[in-house]
Every structure is written in C-alpha cells, then in structure tokens.
Structure 1
C-alpha cells in the first residue's frame, strides 16, 4: 500500500526514537536510584503491601508474579540497559519484528513500575511516556519506511497534551484569562530552576505577552499539526521552541522534552534536508504485509480508546492527567489549571538533644532540588525526576497531600535510614540518628535585585506555623 508509509519522515523517526529511548533511560535510572526508599520492602510505601490490596486487573505489573527489592532492581536496570542499547542504534540493527519486541519490552517494564508506584508515580508524564512508548512499538526501524498512521497517532497524542493544557487553563484559574498567571508561576511552580528567579523578574508587560503567546501555542498551534506540509512542520517547530522556553524556566521532569520528541512526528525530513546539510535518505524497503496488519490493528485500538479522552477535552468538567485504562494506552493531559499565588515550603529539622527546651538547636535537612537554604540557587534537575522533592511541594500546599507518606518518611529520618538519606542532599546527623524530628511551614518568595546584592539570598522565607510537632523514634514492638 503506497499510502501506508512516508519515506520522507525517516530522519524524524530516527530522532524521535533515539530521543524517546533516552527519556526511557532517564526514567529507568530514576526508578533504580530511588525505589528502595520510596517503594522497597522497607520503603515509605512498600510495594508488597500495595500488591496485597490491589488486583492485577487494576494495576497490571510483572510484580504481581513476584516482588523483592532485588527483582525490582533487576527490572529497572534491565530497562536502563535496553534503553541505552536502543539509543545506540540496536533497534535499527535487528529485524523489524525484533525491534518491535525491544520497544514492547521497554513499555512493559516501565508499565510494571508505574502501576505499583502509587503516589510517587502519579504524574502525567508517566502516562505520557507509556503512551508514546506504546506507539513507538509500531513505528518500525530501518527495515521499513515510517508508517503514516503511527505518525498521525503521535500527532494526536501531542495535540491532546498541548490542547488539553490550553483548555484546562482557560476553564480554570482566572489569571490565565486576564493574562496575569506568570506574575506568580515562576515563583510558585513545583521545582524552580536556575533561571526561574530571572524569569520571575521580567517586566509584567512581558509576562502578559508570554501568557497570550502560551494560549496561541496550546490552542492554535496543535490544530496546525494536522494540516498539510509545510504548515505542519512549522507547527512542530513552534512546539519545539515553546517547550524549550519552558525547559529554561523550570524543572518539569521529562514532560517538556517528551513534547519536543513528539513534535518530530510532524516535521518533514525532506523539508529539513532542503535547509540543513543532511545525509542522503536511505533506501527503505516496502513494509511487509504482517507489519501493515499489526499497525492497522494498533491504530484501530487507539482510535477506539480515544473516545473518552476526546470527550473529556470537550467537557466542562475536564479531567487533568488521567488514565482511562490500566495500560495507560490513551490518556488525558493538562497542567496548571490553577496557579498558586503564594509559595509554602515544608522544612524538616532534627536535633540530637535528649530533651527539648526553648534553647534546643535544630538542624535542617537539605533536599536535592526543592527550595531550602535561601542562599542556594535552585538547581537544574530535569529531565531527571526527584520524586520526594516534588511530593514535598504538594505537602506544602495542603497537609492532605502528605498522606500517607510523610509520617513514614519522618520515621525513617529518625532511624537514619541509608536509603532515605540517599534521596537528600545533606544529613545533619551523620554519626548518630536524631532524637527528635519536626517540620515547619515557611512562606518563600523570591528576593528582588537589591536584596540579592545585599544578602546573596535568592529566597526570603517567613515562618508560618508548625507543620509537624517534634516526634521521637517509636519503640520496637
């Protein structure tokens, strides 16, 4: 079938697949490095306890067959090694069917992790990676030209990411409609980056232009992804540019990078070759009949499952970052339907004094990414994902977000648990566990230029109240 493939997108497919495999690699490394403290047998929210109350049909995962920390590590590192192999070109060096199996294995391994990850994996970019990874199974390799249907499905996915985010803003916080949300966003976003302070201090008139441009980027540009070339290529490039702007202004794990990757499904490689010194396109053979049948079946499945996400886009009660099926095949997305005006941070402290007095000296635990020391410039973290730091941001918004993980986290600090301390930047009690741990709630705001020059502090913080009273280590049962 001549219409089935689009050989001009060979370069777009190459970039898309290698970059997607790199994001898979990051995701598996995050899982391997953080799971013991968060989800392990002695973790804050142990997977074995979750599996006891959750049937397979609600959270399909290989861990329903067996769980141990060693087995989880094997799954995560297998995924990391396989991802690295695909980045290096292994999926293009094998037969088409073997390449599809490699992509299917990446999807299945990460699905197994996400479906037991509980609140630590409740972010929209987990489903986005899985949905993009599922479509990549059918994108083929150098043994066949890129299938048109899968390229269109990837544009459909990008459309839902961008258009859904645009609609949730217009339907949500009033500040998106009066163009003032960026007066607050850079200061109150979950994890500011090293340039967020500077973005926050841009003129308010420019912030209003940014919001208006964001509406165009999320409500107009996504529609153009489905138009003929070269308009679709221009729309894809517009997505890349706007997402890079977001990359510079904050840390959003691999969300922005994955949107950039998906934008290549709309960029025509032949057009790019006319502007850039690129190699000649390879001679791609026709797709085998069995492959065409598999792609047609996958397309029909995705279209059938798209009914509820599409209806959600049109609903006044639009859901944000929601999976309609346990395999995360077709999901709904969105971000920042509301913007916080004030930033609250939970600061965790400990002391090694046996008895508390008004003169007790408390020492602060420093986190790797979230704001703590006012003099520390927010670091660049993304596309890596610091799961504990992100949940601490939610805990600062409301104590309800701290259930059920915050108290077990504090209990592990009282034990000087090595796996938990590995998630932190510093441990103020390296020799012996603290006798007491408490948490305070502070209001944080960015300093201005004069305060920065005078104090060297990027943040100014004010105590709001006690968040968690001092607690001691529980006696062994």
Structure 2
C-alpha cells in the first residue's frame, strides 16, 4: 500500500492537526465567554425557546445537537470546557502520540461537540467559518497518528476543501458585484468591511492602482492558482505558498475571525516536507524509525471509507459551483460536510454604523446621552480598530449586519432590554459601559454614516473616522416601552 502513504507530508500533518485544533481552542473559548449571554437561558436568543419552537414544527430530526437531551447553561459550559481541553491536548500532540484511532476519536468528538453548538447558535453562528471549522475538523480526524504515514487521500480531501473555499469565493465575486470585474472593489472594501483592523485605514489610502493590483491578484489566486494545489511537487507547494501569502494579507488588513488562519492551515496540506526543508534548511531530516508506511489494514479501510464519503458529498458543492445561481456559505446536509463557501459577492459602498447610547436623566438633553463601546466594531471616531481575528466577536459582527438591515432584529430588541436592566453578562460583551453597571433610564440607537479620515484630516485631529448622522433606528425607549420577553 505504498500508494496510500504520503511519507513526505509529516510536517503537513503536524500543521493540519495542531492548527485545526488551535482554531477549535479559539472557538470553544468564544463559546465559554459569549454563548451564555447571547444564547443561554437568559440570553438574547435563548436556546430553550429556539428548541421548543423547532419541536412545535417537528424539525427535531433536522437539527443534530446534544441539547435535544436537555439544555442548561451548566451543560453548555461543560461542553465548552470539554471541547477546549480536548483541543488543547491535540495542539500539544498528546492524542497523536498514540495509535492511529486516538486522534480520530478526539477530532470526531470535537466535531460532535461543536456541531451541537452551531446547530443551536441561530444567527450568531450563521457564518461560513463555522461550517469550515466543522468540515476541517472532520477531515483532519483521518490523518492518523505518528504510528502511520499521512494518508494521501486525506491530504487530497484537505486540498479539495481549500479549493472550494478559494474557487467558490472567486466565482461568487465574478458573478456578483461588477466592482470585482472592473477591479474597483477595493476602492471601498477596506473602509466598509465588517470589522476593520489596525492597518485597514492605511490599506484604504493606498494608491488606486495598487487596489486594482490587489483585486487582479485575488482573481488570479482564487480562480487560477488554486487549481495547482493538485499539481505535482514542487508546483503544489508553490501554489499553497501563494494562497498562504494572500490569506496573510487579508489577516493584516481586516478581521474575519478564523477564516483566513484556517485556510492557511489547510493550505499546508499541499506543502511537502522537501519544500519545507528547502525553505527552512535548519529543519531536521526525518528519523528512519521504521514508522509504518500506511499499510495498517484497519486504518486503510477507514480512510478509504472516508474518501468515498468525500466523493459522494462533493456532488452538491460541485453542482453549486457550476450553477449561475451559486449559493454562498451553504450546507447541503445535516452534518455540515461537503459545504460550499464564498464571501463578498457584493461590496458595500458606504459604511453605516449603529451607535447605541443611554442616559440616566429623566428628561434627557443631547448632552446627557452616553455611548456604549463595543470591543471590535467602529464607534468612537478617534479609536483605531483593534486586531481581533482569529478570535470572533459575534455581537459586533451582528451589529454590522444590523446597520445594513440584513438580519433579524429580534436579538437587538432583547439587547436593548438587557442594557436597560444593566445585565452583567451582556455588559461583559462590551468594551465600555458608560454607567459602570447602573441601569440607565433610556437607551436609543442611531445610524451614522462613517468614513475614514483623509491623511490631512488625521494629521490635524488624530481621528480615524468621520461620521455624520443618517437617521434613527430606535428612538429613546425605557424598559416599560419594550415588548415583554416571549
């Protein structure tokens, strides 16, 4: 079974297993820090209410979650801690030191735990990188341990996942906004993207010819170079390196949770050990310790079954890629495997932000209002956007969609209610509570048009943003003005 083994990809396996596990660490940290306030029993969109609604419409079989057994915040935290500790063990390589089936069981358990969370996460977990993490965790589960050589078929499955991420994103751009086709998309994107980073202001003010080069380079990588992941070495390694560099540029210029980091990790599936040693000559040569070449019969059968499943599930994403009505970030089965990916099929030309403020005054004037500060999203005009990724601030992302009018607003009404109650769990999601835990009398939400300052404006004021009022989303409301929690 020499055809089965990929002895020149031991470094790739280390990066894949430990890298995907590291992303799971971030995901479960976010569960522990954010889930109870957003989706817990007293959260903005409580899971018990969601499951009861699904039960009424007989959709139990469509939602695969451990929480059908029962939901409690204590059980949720148990799931979070088990997932976190298990992911940490994989980061340091403990399961990989055992038989081939130990990391398989560990990653599949991570997959089951996180799938249970995503399935009840509602709009707060409706992001493409959630399904990307689930699918990546499922794939790397079959890479085996140090007792066996990395299987070729699993490495091919990882490359196929990278291909779908990149090629799907490339197609959705070309089929969508004309700004991608005329190379002007980045005239706007660095300013209007959901969560700008600390260098986004500088990226926005780069020359326009450079923005056109960026877009052209994106198209070449996503629609052309990505095919070379399946070419012989060293071409595949070079293609993977280009993908890593383009994804790193996205990390530098924005905050897209773990999407870019995880794509870079998965791209390592195409980089051979020989290429790594050419790039980093100080890496030691592999020891000839008699490790199996992949001829373990049981392992071979499991990997073959996995690959057959991958081929079968690929029918739906391939059909989607070929469709003129291409779906973006969609799943075709209950298990969230064999998904389709893509982002920014359309580019926002103007940035709108929802600014939430409160007051202690019984009859407030404009000077009495104090703004709440969010951890990641733009608010104060002087504040430079922070580097958040690969961590994911779910409330901040939903605030961006809210400003566009593109998501359900039920959670936002609940959010305003929690602010009026000075709910400690909700306030911990914020960077700044202007009332230090005291409940305000009123809250309001206004929409502002934001733009980056010019270089001249920034030299004078030191501000990152200029904003002007664009209307009222929610007028001043007191606790008694809001509808009761259903």
TM-score, normalising length: structure 2: 0.96
8 Å Cα contact 2:352/2:404 also seen in 1? yes
CA shift at 1:137, angstroms? 1.1
Q: Which residue of 2 aligns with 1:32?
A: 32
Structure 2 counterparts to residues 330-369 of structure 1, below 5 A: 330-356=338-364, 358-359=365-366, 361-369=368-376
8 Å Cα contact 1:226/1:232 also seen in 2? yes
Tell me the alpha carbon deviations over residues 397-434 of structure 1, each in whole angstroms, 9 at most, x when there is no partner. 11x52422110010000000011000000111125200
The reply on whether 1:41 has 2:41 as its aligned counterpart is yes
TM-score, normalising length: structure 1: 0.98
Q: Which residue of 2 aligns with 1:279?
A: 284
Q: In structure 2, what is the Cα distance between the partners aligned to 1:191 and 1:359?
A: 28
Q: Which residue of 2 aligns with 1:428?
A: 434
Evaluate the alpha carbon distance shift between residue 431 and residue 29 of structure 1 in structure 2; reply closer, same or farther with a 3 A threshold. closer
2:167 to 159, 163, 166: 163
Evaluate the alpha carbon distance shift between residue 274 and residue 431 of structure 1 in structure 2; reply closer, same or farther with a 3 A threshold. closer
CA shift at 1:326, angstroms? 1.5
Tell me the alpha carbon deviations over residues 112-151 of structure 1, each in whole angstroms, 9 at most, x when there is no partner. 1111100000000000000000001111110100000010
* Segment of structure 1 superposing worse, 279-288 or 173-182: 279-288
Q: Which residue of 2 aligns with 1:65?
A: 69
Q: In structure 1, what is the Cα distance between the partners aligned to 2:267 and 2:231?
A: 14
Evaluate the alpha carbon distance shift between residue 275 and residue 383 of structure 1 in structure 2; reply closer, same or farther with a 3 A threshold. closer
8 Å Cα contact 2:67/2:116 also seen in 1? yes
Tell me the alpha carbon deviations over residues 378-410 of structure 1, each in whole angstroms, 9 at most, x when there is no partner. 000000000000000000111x52422110010
Aligned length in residues: 475
Q: Which residue of 2 aligns with 1:393?
A: 400
Q: In structure 2, what is the Cα distance between the partners aligned to 1:71 and 1:408?
A: 23
8 Å Cα contact 2:424/2:437 also seen in 1? no
CA shift at 1:91, angstroms? 1.7
8 Å Cα contact 1:451/1:457 also seen in 2? yes
Evaluate the alpha carbon distance shift between residue 359 and residue 51 of structure 1 in structure 2; reply closer, same or farther with a 3 A threshold. closer
1:454 to 431, 445, 460: 460
Q: In structure 2, what is the Cα distance between the partners aligned to 1:360 and 1:474?
A: 23
The reply on whether 1:445 has 2:441 as its aligned counterpart is no
8 Å Cα contact 2:5/2:149 also seen in 1? yes
2:236 to 210, 224, 232: 232
Q: In structure 1, what is the Cα distance between the partners aligned to 2:254 and 2:438?
A: 36
Please give the secondary structure, in 1, of the residue aligned with 2:472: strand
Task: Please list every run of 5 or more consecutive structure 1 residues that lacks an aligned counterpart in the other structure.
Answer: none
Evaluate the alpha carbon distance shift between residue 53 and residue 359 of structure 1 in structure 2; reply closer, same or farther with a 3 A threshold. closer
Q: Which residue of 2 aligns with 1:134?
A: 138
Q: In structure 2, what is the Cα distance between the partners aligned to 1:448 and 1:271?
A: 44
* Segment of structure 1 superposing worse, 299-308 or 194-203: 299-308
Q: Which residue of 2 aligns with 1:301?
A: 309
Q: Which residue of 2 aligns with 1:206?
A: 210
CA shift at 1:360, angstroms? 5.7
8 Å Cα contact 1:391/1:402 also seen in 2? no
Q: CA RMSD in A?
A: 1.3
2:102 to 85, 98, 101: 98
1:118 to 118, 122, 135: 122
Tell me the alpha carbon deviations over residues 49-95 of structure 1, each in whole angstroms, 9 at most, x when there is no partner. 11112233211011111210000001011111111111111122222
Please give the secondary structure, in 1, of the residue aligned with 2:459: helix
Q: In structure 2, what is the Cα distance between the partners aligned to 1:233 and 1:225?
A: 7
Q: In structure 1, what is the Cα distance between the partners aligned to 2:226 and 2:306?
A: 23
Q: Which residue of 2 aligns with 1:219?
A: 223
8 Å Cα contact 2:187/2:204 also seen in 1? yes
Tell me the alpha carbon deviations over residues 426-447 of structure 1, each in whole angstroms, 9 at most, x when there is no partner. 1111252001010000000000
CA shift at 1:271, angstroms? 2.6
Q: Which residue of 2 aligns with 1:7?
A: 7
1:147 to 151, 171, 176: 151
Please give the secondary structure, in 2, of the residue aligned with 1:474: helix
1:380 to 381, 387, 393: 387
